[in-house]
Homo-oligomer: A and B are copies of this chain.
């Protein structure tokens, strides 16, 4: 079901959840759907109550379909919580909150996975039904799971991220299953394509959203060898993460949170980095990539479009000049 699209001139974006989805939405306003591929991290995926939950895919789907809950910052707009109330009354787990509408995604996906469909095919079908024209791909159809070594011991990702609200100190991160997983074939085809327009690394958490994608066999090498410009939008603005534990994790992993530190997570891969005006003083030598300052905080839809436009401008300005 994953269409064999003509990749000529396509934009490929690597994304985690909320921050990445903002840029993906911006890109979707500027790039025709046939030429936009979003690859989602799936190392956050987990099984809860035997339901297969794919948080980053769902955030991307809801955002791109115009269904996202912008007040809450996650989940669906107009969500209701009667399932959770009823579940708690019969003794079910309450730490991971599943909205009534959101449940449809997990129940349907779980059912189709058990019936033998791939996550790629299910995601493509759901995206199409919700009116999403671009290509949304999981990074792999195989099982990869982020596990964190912390001061409280080894934790599964959602246990760290949701149940413990990122409070434990992170010492290291592994992606169980990554070594033997097969990267989504269209991701590899896109990276190998001679006329890809750009590879965009969204402003997502480097350690737990983008690194899982890079950790898949051959992906890092394919990005390094990709003839298209590789452009990062910094997830760190003025030493802070816009959302989530990126800055906290940087500190815990021995780095000073900064846009430079973010770029250094992608050493040897980047052609350019778009940093916020707050971080404009930093140099290409520090970043290991050409630096383009912009207003990168994406509060409004217009912000998302502006950052996306900057990404495309930078990409096109670098076209033909990069390896």
Determine the distance from Cα of A125 to Cα of B80 in the docked complex, in whole angstroms.
26
- Quick one: which of A273-307 are within 8 Å of B by CB? none
Q: Is A50 an interface residue (CB 8 A)?
A: yes
Task: Report yes or no: A50 in contact with B110, Cβ–Cβ below 8 A.
Answer: yes
**Chain B positions within 8 Å of A103 at CB level:** 83, 86, 100, 103, 107
Asked if residues A126 and B86 are in contact (CB atoms below 8 Å), the reply is: no
- A114 is an interface residue with CB less than 8 A from chain B: yes
Among listed A88-96, A171-179, A225-233, interface-contacting one: A88-96
Contact A91 B50 (CB under 8 A): no
B114, A86: Cβ atoms closer than 8 Å = no
Given the complex of chains A and B, what is the CA–CA distance between A62 and B81 in angstroms?
19
Name the contact of A86 in the complex, choosing from B84, B91, B104 (C-beta under 8 A).
B104
CB of A152 within 8 Å of the partner chain: no
**Cα distance A221–B101 when bound, in Å?**
48
A130: chain B residues at CB < 8 Å are 89-90
In the complex, the answer to whether A126 meets B90 with C-beta atoms within 8 Å is: yes
CA distance A266 to B99 in the complex (A): 46
Kindly report how many copies of this chain are found in the complex they form together. Answer: 2
Tell me which residues across on chain B come within 8 A of A318, comparing CB atoms.
Answer: none
Interface mask (A25-60 → B, CB under 8 Å = 1, otherwise 0): 000000000000000000000000111000000000
> Does A111 belong to the interface (CB within 8 Å)?
yes
Q: How would residues 67 to 87 of chain A score, 1 for a CB under 8 Å from any chain B CB and 0 otherwise?
A: 000000000101110111111
A196 to B109 Cα, complex, angstroms: 49
Pair B92/A86 contact, Cβ less than 8 Å: no
Which residue of B is nearest A103, CB measured? B83
A129 sits at the interface (CB 8 A): yes
A102 adjacent to chain B (CB < 8 Å): yes
A122-167 residues with Cβ-Cβ distance < 8 A to B are 125-126, 129-130
Nearest Cβ on chain B to A317's Cβ, whole angstroms? 40
Minimum distance in angstroms from A93 CB to a CB of chain B: 9
A49, A92, A102, A104 pick with most chain B CB within 10 angstroms: A104
- Chain B nearest Cβ from A96, distance in angstroms: 12
Q: How far is the CB of A54 from chain B (nearest CB, A)?
A: 13
Which residues on the B side are within 8 Å of A100 (C-beta)? Answer: 80, 82-83, 86, 100, 103
A313 near B: Cβ within 8 Å? no
Shortest Cβ distance from residue A83 to the other chain B in the assembled complex, whole angstroms? 5
* CB pairs A–B below 8 angstroms (23 shown): A49-B108, A51-B107, A78-B82, A80-B80, A82-B99, A82-B100, A83-B104, A84-B104, A85-B101, A86-B100, A86-B103, A87-B108, A89-B130, A90-B105, A90-B125, A90-B126, A90-B129, A90-B130, A91-B108, A92-B104, A92-B107, A92-B108, A100-B103
Q: Which 9 A-B residue pairings sit nearest by Cβ, starting from the closest?
A: A86-B104, A100-B100, A86-B101, A87-B104, A82-B100, A82-B101, A92-B108, A49-B111, A90-B126
